[in-house]
Every structure is written in C-alpha cells, then in structure tokens.
Amino acid sequence: MPVVEELIRTEQDGTISFGNYKLGQKSKKSDFEYQGDIYKVKTYNEITKLERNEMFVYESVPGTVAEHFKVTDDSIEFEVEGDKDAQITVQLENDTDYEVYVDGAAVGSMKTNMSGKLSVSVELEEGTSVKVKAVKRA
C-alpha cells in the first residue's frame, strides 16, 4: 500500500485515505471537503492526525497511512500501514462498548471513555496493511 502523496484523498469506493509515515517533517493539508464536512490531516514519520470540522477523528503514533477509512453509525473500519508498530486512537461514541477486530480476528471488547476515544495497538510492517474494525455492541 503506497503512502498518500497528496496527504488525503477520496477513493473510488467513497471512502477516504490519508497519511504519509515516510515524511521526515510535518506536513498538513486543510480544507479537504468530503461528504459535506471539512477535514484536516497532519502527518509525518512520528504522528498522523485527522480532524473533521476541527474535531478529533484519528491519531497514530508513530505516523501511518490509513486507507479506505469509513465511519458508519455503529462502526469504523480502515486499512493501516506503517514501518513500525503503532498506537491508534479513534473517535467513536462516548461510553460505549465496541468489538474490535484486527485483520479479521477479534481482539476483544473495548469500551470508549467519556470522550469517546478508543485506542488499539497494531503490529505493523512496512509494505503490509492491517485491517482494523470496531463495531458497536448491541
């Protein structure tokens, strides 16, 4: 999976892709319109952040590439690649239980905190993407 040279883009399937963990210095792109919202991405080798309408959506330490990023009312899913293991934090519903999957394998149920953040550690290796999915538990 190649890095996103333009930092953020819309894919043919209607999802977005963003991030570039190969950059040595911080780069950002603001005012990216997608489905009526305004997105901003900041990315380089140490961190990748995505905001929607100036609100937190995604953060990885160190930096990553997230492709086919899709959020629905009850789930979030994306493919992620980096050159080293990453801690990924995403914004979901406050104080809610989610079942989390990494590459199709259930890694357990996690509950978001009062601000709706959910963090997951992902083992990454350059050139190989890992699918991450979190689904709200009924």
Type and span of the H or E element at 28: strand 27-34
For position 4, what pLDDT does the model report? Answer: 81
Torsion of Cα atoms, 121 then 123 then 76 then 94, to 10°: 0
Asked, for residue 69, whether it belongs to a domain, the answer is: yes
Range of the domain at 90: 8-136
Asked, for residue 13, whether it belongs to a domain, the answer is: yes
Asked, for residue 22, whether it belongs to a domain, the answer is: yes
Asked, for residue 3, whether it belongs to a domain, the answer is: no
For position 65, what pLDDT does the model report? Answer: 97
pLDDT per residue as tens, the chain (138 positions): 567 889 999 999 999 999 999 999 999 999 999 999 999 999 999 999 999 999 999 999 999 999 999 999 999 999 999 999 999 999 999 999 999 999 999 999 999 989 999 999 999 999 999 999 999 997
For position 1, what pLDDT does the model report? Answer: 57
For position 2, what pLDDT does the model report? Answer: 66
Specify the number of domains making up the chain.
1
For position 54, what pLDDT does the model report? Answer: 97
Asked, for residue 68, whether it belongs to a domain, the answer is: yes
For position 57, what pLDDT does the model report? Answer: 97
User: Which amino acid would we find at residue 73?
Assistant: D
Here the CATH number for the domain that contains residue 92 is: 2.60.220
pTM, full prediction: 0.95
